[in-house]
């Protein structure tokens, strides 16, 4: 039994060194493209990685039938798909119009881009229309071939 324990020690030491040497996550620049809510019936949350203009137009046309305002600094939804790509979060049906979603940050964790988002829910005593909605948020980031992972963050 003692030789087996010794065999695992070099592997364990190498694993610990690899974790210690891992670089901290880097922030990725993003800009908001569109945010709002839709009454389109949804089945579960949708996470979108959009790499061309046709996919982006289809996603916005399907999502923006109730409320949604362009959110980029210049007031438009312009995106250059030669240098950028769009990421989107669409939450499933929520019972009131007070629901929302915010893409809060994007980080590069090794080779994976991690999209952090936070759901906004009705606050106690907040007056909300009793309309079933599905909130969404779209952002643009520099184009990358890296895999994308979406991660829900808790309350601030």
Residue 62's pLDDT is what? 58
**Adjacency order of strands within the sheet including 31-38:** 46-50, 84-90, 134-142, 31-38, 67-70
Contacts of 147 (CB under 8 A, 6+ apart): 111, 112, 113
Residue 65's pLDDT is what? 45
The pair of structure tokens assigned to 73 is 């600094």
Contacts of 71 (CB under 8 A, 6+ apart): 32, 33, 34, 35
- The answer to whether residues 98 and 63 touch, using CB atoms and an 8 Å cutoff, is no
Q: Where are the alpha helices (DSSP H) in the chain?
A: 2-21, 53-63
- pTM of the predicted model as reported, rounded to 2 decimal places: 0.72
pLDDT (tens place) for every residue of the chain, 156 residues total: 555 555 565 655 555 445 444 556 788 899 999 888 887 777 788 899 999 988 888 887 655 444 444 444 444 468 899 999 999 999 888 877 788 899 999 999 888 999 999 998 777 887 887 888 888 999 999 998 899 999 999 765
Domain count, the chain: 1
Residue 77's pLDDT is what? 62
The DSSP code sequence of 94-120 is: BSSTT-EEEEEEEEEETTEEEEEEEEE
Q: Is residue 69 part of a domain?
A: yes
Q: Is residue 89 part of a domain?
A: yes
Q: Is residue 148 part of a domain?
A: yes
- What is the CB neighbour count within 10 angstroms for residue 84? 19
- Host domain of residue 36: 24-152
């Amino acid at each position: 039994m003692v030789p087996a324990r010794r065999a695992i020690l070099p592997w364990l030491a190498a694993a610990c060194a690899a974790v210690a040497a891992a670089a901290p996550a880097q922030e990725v620049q993003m800009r908001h493209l569109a945010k709002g809510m839709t009454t389109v019936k949804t089945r579960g949350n949708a996470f979108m990685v959009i790499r061309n203009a046709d996919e982006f137009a289809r996603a916005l046309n399907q999502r923006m039938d109730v409320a949604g305002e362009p959110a980029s600094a210049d007031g438009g939804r312009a995106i250059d798909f030669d240098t950028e790509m769009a990421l989107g979060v669409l939450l499933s049906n929520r019972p009131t119009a007070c629901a929302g979603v915010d893409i809060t940050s994007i980080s590069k964790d090794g080779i994976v881009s991690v999209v952090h988002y936070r759901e906004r829910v009705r606050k106690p005593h907040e007056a909300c229309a009793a309309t079933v909605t599905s909130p969404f948020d779209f952002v643009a980031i520099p184009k990358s071939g890296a895999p994308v992972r979406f991660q829900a963050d808790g309350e601030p």
